[in-house]
């Protein structure tokens, strides 16, 4: 078993900030292998103002973005220290499926694991669940950019 991370530790790994950081907590991370993270979905999410006020549903692209952010956390935790500070860019998604809507009050849990790793890119398999029921899944590919000073 790995370790848990709070939002402060997450924000040291991800460049995202409110309202776009979509991972609230890491429940378990095993660098080089897997991460389990979560996002609490509240009625106060800014995207619900327009998607849709009378029937709030989390946009599917944001569920995939949250999976990608969980993958970014796993990538950061798995990189050698000399690569820390290199941005991780989401470049592809394959086999994306949406199974059911995500609504206020749900707790999204993301399980992401490595499929492939190289010196310049990573490929992940990710599954998002609510109450242990699959809501989305995808294969995500990311690449590393130039190190930020």
Catalytic residues: 51
Closest alpha carbon to 87 in 4, 137, 19, 13: 13
Cis-peptide into 52, omega within 30 deg? yes
Phi and psi for 92 in degrees, rounded to 5? -160, 155
Q: Residues 6 or more apart from 45 whose CB is under 8 A from it?
A: 19, 56, 58, 104
Closest alpha carbon to 66 in 116, 124, 119, 121: 124
The DSSP secondary-structure symbol of 146 reads: P
């Amino acid at each position: 078993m790995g370790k848990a991370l709070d939002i402060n530790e997450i924000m040291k790994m991800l460049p995202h900030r409110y309202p776009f950081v979509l991972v609230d907590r890491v429940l378990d991370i095993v660098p080089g292998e897997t991460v389990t993270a979560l996002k609490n979905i509240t009625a106060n999410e800014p995207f619900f103002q327009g998607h849709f006020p009378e029937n709030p549903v989390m946009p599917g692209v944001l569920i995939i973005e949250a999976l990608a952010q969980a993958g970014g956390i796993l990538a950061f935790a798995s990189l050698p220290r000399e690569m820390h500070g290199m941005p991780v860019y989401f470049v592809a998604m394959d086999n994306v499926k949406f199974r059911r809507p995500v609504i206020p009050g749900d707790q999204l849990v993301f399980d992401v694991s490595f499929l492939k790793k190289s010196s310049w890119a990573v490929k992940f398999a990710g599954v998002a669940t609510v109450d242990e029921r699959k809501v989305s899944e995808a294969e995500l590919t990311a690449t590393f950019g130039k190190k930020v000073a």
